[in-house]
Structure 1
């Protein structure tokens, strides 16, 4: 007998039709690696080697036409980040509905010692298409109050300092704060 409830079945949303054009006739079209994936894999159409700290703009060989009310976001691949230290400089990159040029990905090698090499058609990023809202901005003299107010970077805590540079044993206080929750 299982004590864990099964998730309720969810009917999948209807796919959004996106027009795509290959800039390189041999480039594979973006595909979802697994059912339920949010991002479709993008590949590079050029081989490149990045030394530590080096960055490059990699062309994907595709351009798209999104419907109005949608945008596409280029996200990093977690495996490249974990294994090679590769990140995207402007993650996520935004592709607006009106953009028709080739999708390009700005990658950087953050590994301090090793170079990383991409071969032609290696997967380099993932493309997530989302519906986006248009807003109207209304200028006011003052904003309504909130619990967070003007608390910015780091104002909600949760980051443990382990080297003691913040004074005392900050890690122990973060752990004990969490235990009380």
Structure 2
């Protein structure tokens, strides 16, 4: 039975949240997983998401917002269908990360944390995504693309435009 009478989440996610708060010694420990799952389902962490998660955990909305503002992977505005995260940390920077970011900005016609007019792509400059050995690297939603050049990045964009899988070689 759901802890919130009128949930904004799917029945499956509401049930997952009900379970999450029971597996941690403190309900508050479920906050980050709940925010991530909610973002995956809704597309971003809206005010309604903040309100419901705070109710489910039994904490203040301000507590949720404090955590939300700390983690860069949590969004408070809708992203594109494909969220393109370009790493510019040291390994990627040394192997062309900034050039790749500039190429993405030019190709998509948007800047950091912006969304294309058709809603297909959003773009972010991010810190390390853990693919240093294969720099420069980009993460699109949960898919990694590495050892990129501007030409390879164009292939990645085309692949997503066409709705084709992940791997471009």
Question: TM-score, normalization: structure 2?
Answer: 0.25
* Bigger CA radius of gyration: 1
Question: TM-score, normalization: structure 1?
Answer: 0.23
Greater share of residues in helix = 2
Greater share of residues in strand = 1
